[in-house]
Amino acid sequence: MSIQEKTEAEQTKAPTVSVPVNLVRLSKVGQRPDLLDYLVQLWDRRSFIFFDARSRVQSGHDKTHLGTAWLVLTPVLNGLSFYLIFGVFLGTSKGIENFIGYLIIGVFTFQMSTRSILGGAKSLTSNTSMIRAFQFPRASLPIAVNVRELLSNIPVTIVMLLFVIFTAPAEEITWRWLLIIPAILLQFLFNLGIGMLLAPVLLKIPDLSHLLSFIIRFLMYVSAVFFAEDRFGKYPVMRAIMDFNPVFQVIKVIRDTVLYNTTPSWRAWSVLGLWALGSVAAGLFVFWRGEESYGRV
């Protein structure tokens, strides 16, 4: 018998040894982590989220001749159309001091919420292939969308303020203009939270995406974008909706600081802050709860 045959014979006669496996440490692929671990995973991917948002800002209008100029041109053209229709033909500008600045702030600010909420709501349905191919915290998708819109809104806000400064009557620049920063950050948190709440719903019921345009339109009407807020004084229900509307409150805060040189009331900050923190907390919780189901839909 050859040496190789003897070795093979000895191996076949050798007793098998069972190796214990600790199943406690094993986890199912794609299993939802604890909420705290989920938040840590999101924080660990902050560089990717910011890089993705910045790159999409730069490449978002590559196929157009004017490029990123459309970020500013779109609200300007919307504001011009609103000015002609409501300010000139329907006369909603009556009783509003500096209607041009009033309208510019309303249109520019509302458009940020529109883009952010719609983008966050569609973040799952527009990235289904990525969700099924890679393992990562899905909440990073709407966060990246909202960071992208926040970065895009920086030049838009600068142009908005330049319009207010150079259009008659010119407004005086004061320290209150700095209050725009916390107002926009609270708006960012609100937009993110609402988008995260809507994204799982749209993934399961895609038909609801068609209703979003009507909801956004109603939100625009109760945000006093192009008319004075006291027009709803005779309708207490609509006035109450406006008072608790966070988009209206952020517009009102910016108008008070920029146009009227007044410090916004604590009530406005409270409503905006409660909506911002409450919606982002609820959005993160809902997103975390459905983490395992997104790639299977």
The domain ranges of the chain are 64-290
On the question of pLDDT at 90 being above 80, the answer is: no
CA angle at residue 104 from 259 to 232, to 5 degrees? 80
Question: What is the pLDDT, as a whole number, of residue 153?
Answer: 85
- Mean local confidence (pLDDT), 217-237: 81
On the question of pLDDT at 21 being above 80, the answer is: no
- Mean local confidence (pLDDT), 237-264: 89
On the question of pLDDT at 77 being above 80, the answer is: no
DSSP 104-158: HHHHHHHHHHHHHHHHHHTTTGGGHHHHHH--S-TTHHHHHHHHHHHHHHHHHHH
Distance of CA 175 to the CA centre of its chain: 27
Instruction: Tell me which residue of 250, 228, 232 sits closest to 240, measured CA to CA.
Output: 232
How would residue 185 be classed by pLDDT, with cut points 50, 70 and 90?
Answer: very high
On the question of pLDDT at 66 being above 80, the answer is: no
How far apart are the C-alpha atoms of 121 and 130, rounded to whole Å? 16
Give per-residue pLDDT as tens, 271-291. 999 999 999 999 999 988 888
How far apart are the C-alpha atoms of 2 and 150, rounded to whole Å? 76
Give per-residue pLDDT as tens, 201-225. 898 888 788 888 888 888 888 888 8
Contact 254, 108 (CB under 8 A): no
Mean pLDDT for the chain overall: 80
Question: What is the pLDDT, as a whole number, of residue 183?
Answer: 94
Give per-residue pLDDT as tens, 140-162. 889 999 998 898 888 888 888 88
Region of poorest pLDDT, from 55-69, 134-148, 152-166, 178-192: 55-69
- Mean local confidence (pLDDT), 22-40: 69
How far apart are the C-alpha atoms of 121 and 192, rounded to whole Å? 9
On the question of pLDDT at 7 being above 70, the answer is: no
Give the amino acid at 19. V
Supply the DSSP symbol for 136: S
Instruction: Tell me which residue of 176, 186, 181 sits closest to 259, measured CA to CA.
Output: 176
Question: What is the pLDDT, as a whole number, of residue 290?
Answer: 82
Question: What is the pLDDT, as a whole number, of residue 184?
Answer: 93
Give the amino acid at 43. W
Instruction: Tell me which residue of 218, 257, 247 sits closest to 108, measured CA to CA.
Output: 247
On the question of pLDDT at 9 being above 70, the answer is: no
Give the amino acid at 98. N
Contact 140, 42 (CB under 8 A): yes
Region of poorest pLDDT, from 62-71, 102-111, 164-173: 62-71
Contact 255, 103 (CB under 8 A): no
How would residue 65 be classed by pLDDT, with cut points 50, 70 and 90?
Answer: low
Q: Which of 34-43, 49-58, 65-74, 153-162 has the highest mean pLDDT?
A: 34-43
